[in-house]
Amino acid sequence: MQIYLPIAEVSVNIFLLFGLGGLVGVLSGMFGVGGGFLITPLLFFMGIPPAVAVATGSNQIVASSVSGVLAHLKRRTVDLRMGTVLLCGGIVGAALGIWLFNLLKTLGQVDLLVRLCYVVFLGVIGGLMFIESLRALRRSKRGGRPTRRHHGWVHGLPFKMRFRTSGLYISAIPPLMVGLSVGILSAIMGVGGGFIMVPAMIYLLGMPTKVVVGTSLFQIIFVTAFTTLAHAVTNQTVDVLLALILLVGGVIGAQFGTAVGTRLKAEQLRIALATLVLLVCGKLALDLFLTPADLFELGVGEQ
């Protein structure tokens, strides 16, 4: 069955959209990623204009994150205090990111820059996570305890706060900076930023993996809501009908994803996410390096 999307101005198969939403929802629940890094390119492949795909993607992430975070709240695996600190940085970052995005748009080539951002960030983070979790997996097989890393400089910073749920007593500056940089990237790349946030929380802040997913989802809700609003006001590119179809699939998927995620071991979870991130990175990199089928392209955005 085909459905016509009022803002995107294209007709697409409704079941395909449901499936896409569901798939991303499962990932969202399992890993605590919003799935924006998957949904945005996939929507683009379906023929939805990139600007609409980016803006609508962030709207859909709001829904799947709300659904996911409720399940985590019930299990008390959300560090609300840490989430709020990250969020403060995130909102400022997103505002900066949108300003930067519009600046780049006037300079042209924003499309290329977004794609390069994807390849670089997905590649680096996916690679790091993969190696790290492979090591952790080997260690746990040998029966040894994973060594906890200590960041001397992190502990030397002022404004120390106690994060009870995470069992941390650290300065508020590193989480603020993490929130800020993820906010900037999420606005430019049109993603929630979970795939950057999750490893940053584990490796940089030293948070326990179980708390990371819920806290990341909590923070993503607000940052993506802010991004949605900014896109709706500045570009009028949020397609609410498209978002609704995606999120119906997404919220159902997120529930299954959360259930699956609790049964998997943390190392397995991380290695699966790393593999996925690397796969998407590889696909995007190929598009940049291989000779395109058609060297010409029609300008986007003007209708």
Partner 1 sequence: MIRLAALLLLIAALPLRAEEVVMGMSRDSVNITADFDGSEVLIFGAVKREAVIRPDPPLQVIVTVAGPVDPVTVWRKERRAGIWVNADAVEIDAAPSFYAVATSGPWGSVISEVEDLRHKVSINRAIRSVGAPMTISDSRSFTEALIRLREKSGLYQNLFNTVDLRESTLFDTAISMPANIVEGTYQVRVLLTRGGQVVAQHTSEIGVGKVGIERWLFNLSQRQPLVYGLLSIVLAVVAGWGASAAFRAMRSG
Residues that bind partner 1 in the complex, under the rule CB under 8 A = 1-4, 6-7, 9-11, 47, 59-60, 62-68, 70-71, 108-109, 111-112, 116, 221, 225, 228-229, 231-233, 236, 238, 240-241, 243-244, 247-248, 251-252, 254-255, 288-292, 294-299, 302-303
Residue placing its CB nearer to partner 1 in the complex, 147 or 291? 291
Start-end of H helices in 46-172: 50-74, 80-107, 110-142, 152-156
**Least gap, CB of 118 to partner 1 (angstroms):** 13
Bridge-based pairing state of the strands 10-13 and 2-5: antiparallel
Q: Which is nearer to partner 1, 13 or 275 (CB)?
A: 13
Min CB(111)–partner 1 separation in Å: 7
Of 70 and 128, nearer to partner 1 (C-beta) is: 70
What's the closest the beta carbon of residue 104 comes to partner 1, in angstroms? 13
The single residue listed with the structure tokens 């910073």 is 157
Taking the least distance from each CB to partner 1, the nearer of 35 and 174 is: 35
Q: Are 251 and 25 in contact (CB under 8 A)?
A: yes
- The residues pairing with 171 across neighbouring beta strands, listed in sequence order, are 160
**Within 13 A of 235's CA, how many CA atoms are on the CB side?**
27
Find the distance separating the first CA and the last CA of the chain, reported in whole Å. 26
**Residues paired with residue 170 on neighbouring β-strands, in sequence order:** 161
Cα-based distances in Å from 221 to 29, 62, 204, 276? 13, 5, 22, 22
Sign, CA torsion 104/110/114/116 = negative
Residue 52 or 82: the one with the smaller Cβ distance to partner 1 is: 52
Query: Token digits for 163?
Result: 């994060």
**Reduced to 3 states, what is the DSSP secondary structure of residue 58?**
helix
Enter the tokens of residue 228. 């949605």
We find the least distance from the C-beta atom of residue 150 to partner 1, in angstroms, to be 38
Of 119 and 172, which CB lies nearer to partner 1 in the complex structure? 119
Q: Give the shortest CB-177-to-partner 1 separation in angstroms.
A: 27
**Cβ 255 to partner 1 shortest distance, Å:** 5
Q: Based on CB atoms, which residue is closest to partner 1, 243 or 266?
A: 243
Q: Supply the minimum distance, in Å, between the C-beta of residue 163 and partner 1.
A: 25
Q: Rounded CA gap, 151 and 173, in Å? A: 14
